[in-house]
Amino acid sequence: MSAVSTFARRLAVTKVSASNTSFIASTATRALSTQSFAQGRPGHADPAYLLAMAAAAGLAATTAGGVAHCEREGAVRDPKTTYGITAENAMKMDLKKRLSQQPEKAPLPKVLEPVEDVPAKPSRQEEVPVVINATSPAATEKPAASPDPHAEPSTHMTPEEARLEAATLKAKKHGGGLKLFSGNGNMGLSLEIAKLLGVNLGRATVSSFADGEINVMIHENVRGKDVYIIQPTCPPVNNNLMELLLMVSCLNRASARRVTVVIPYYGYARQDRKMQARVPISAADVARLLESMGVDRVIAVDLHCGQIQGFFGPRVPVDNLEGGVVGIDHFGGKDLHNPVIVSPDAGGVYRAKKFKEGLAYKYGWEDAGIAMIIKQRARAGSVDQMDLVGDVKDCDCIIVDDMIDTAGTLCKAADVLVAKGARRVFAFASHGLLSGPGNERIANSNLEECVILNTIPSTPQRAANEKLVELSVAPLLAQTIFNIHAKRSISALFK
């Protein structure tokens, strides 16, 4: 019996489901590859051949039941975070609203009389029972069911086929379609994301030689895989950036199918334009470096300026995640009096507006106001003067920014708000660099509470600061990685 006919017989007794489609497709492909050809043309009239062709072409990797299947035993678990659940509920409500708005169709005229029920014809099994005579061959016992739901009866495979199939299943068990790697930038965040996705971090060596050069080595097979590298370019910026570039190069040379970099904090983002003569646009230069290394996609959190997405070419899509959605859940549970969202500069008004809209949509803060501080810098890292636009008297204020570096601007903004009559002042920022005296300034400031995300690894000094609260961005990043891998919408997470 040919390999295709053997596969057709196996397919007839195999229950096709979302979990074994890739297994059936791979079996069909192997069957087709061993099919004999007559004069260079296969037997197209062979029903078994057509059945195998349909299985090989149609039974591909699929997404069902909250699991993205790329290979058998290589599934990535849906983290089911609040962002994903909220997006699903919003889509269901939108669909329900659309269905309710559709006009009801008039019933079709009844032109046929009801037909009396005809008794169903008994099946073949009920017509004539099979009787084994004394001269018939003895009926063999059916083999015991295998604990593996995808395993096939041993009578359907030769010992050689069973050995090859076992080796194939073992290889697939240890290699899924998604691989997650991390540099030394923020290992804690990477482990948290891997735990939410239900996968292990890939085995790799990222270290330095005695002379300071970066050493990168991948210790597992990534050929044909979708690889995600989690590496913020936070201090030490140049070391982390070089680690990221070399990891991308290493994975591309190892024949990875697609390389996506997850950059929770994008270094050099503040140098996004020429403010004076003879200065570089470093944010664009970093984008060119990543693109030249062969990056296929970039995931970032709260880029300093949205135009950084345009520094990458059209073949490298950039997903700029809004870290404010994490802070919305934190401040939404607080009892604030006359809340006002404050932007510390003119460029952050849009960010403050989105933060206000999120609070209004999710927690009903429709009466929240917006204010803005206009600052004049004497030089980089130093503010000369601040002027407030808006009314904050007898209000609880939330200063929303993308990052806190030395905290000089933030603390001075808090002083201005308190001087204008604010009751309490809170602060939220996605990236807490806290360079130099930043942590000490926040501890001695007029801020009631300063909330940051863990896009940058924490330190014992930060943990000792009672005014500093660190939230995790891992659920948002894990849900985003899963949605990209499962080809789902990302914008739905922020509606």
| Angle subtended by helix axes 21-33 and 3-12, to nearest 10 | 160
Distance CA 387, CA 416 (A): 8
User: Which residues make Cβ contacts (< 8 Å) with residue 146, sequence separation at least 6?
Assistant: 153
Would you say 409 and 375 are in contact if contact means Cβ atoms under 8 Å apart?
yes
- For the chain, helix, strand, coil in percent to 5 are 40, 20, 45
Half-sphere exposure of 448 (CA within 13 A, CB side): 14
Confidence check: pLDDT of 490 > 80: yes
Active site positions, annotated: 375
How far apart, in whole angstroms, are the C-alpha atoms of residue 3 and residue 37? Answer: 12
Confidence of residue 16 (pLDDT cuts 50, 70, 90): very low
Task: Read off the pLDDT of each residue in 70-99 and give the average, rounded to a whole number.
Answer: 76
Mean pLDDT of 401-427: 95
Phi, psi of 364, deg, nearest 5: 70, 30
Residue 44 predicted with pLDDT over 60:
no
pLDDT-derived band at 254 (thresholds 50, 70, 90) equals very high
**What confidence score (pLDDT) does residue 98 get?**
80
d(C-alpha 155, C-alpha 262), whole Å? 48
Percent of the residues in the chain that have a pLDDT greater than 90, as a whole number: 58
Q: What is the C-alpha to C-alpha distance for residues 353 and 463, in angstroms, rounded to an integer?
A: 30
φ/ψ (deg, to 5) at 220: -150, 165
Distances in whole angstroms, Cα of residue 350 to Cα of each of 110, 198, 309, 322: 59, 36, 16, 12
Q: What is the mean pLDDT of the chain?
A: 80
Residue scoring higher pLDDT (299 or 2): 299
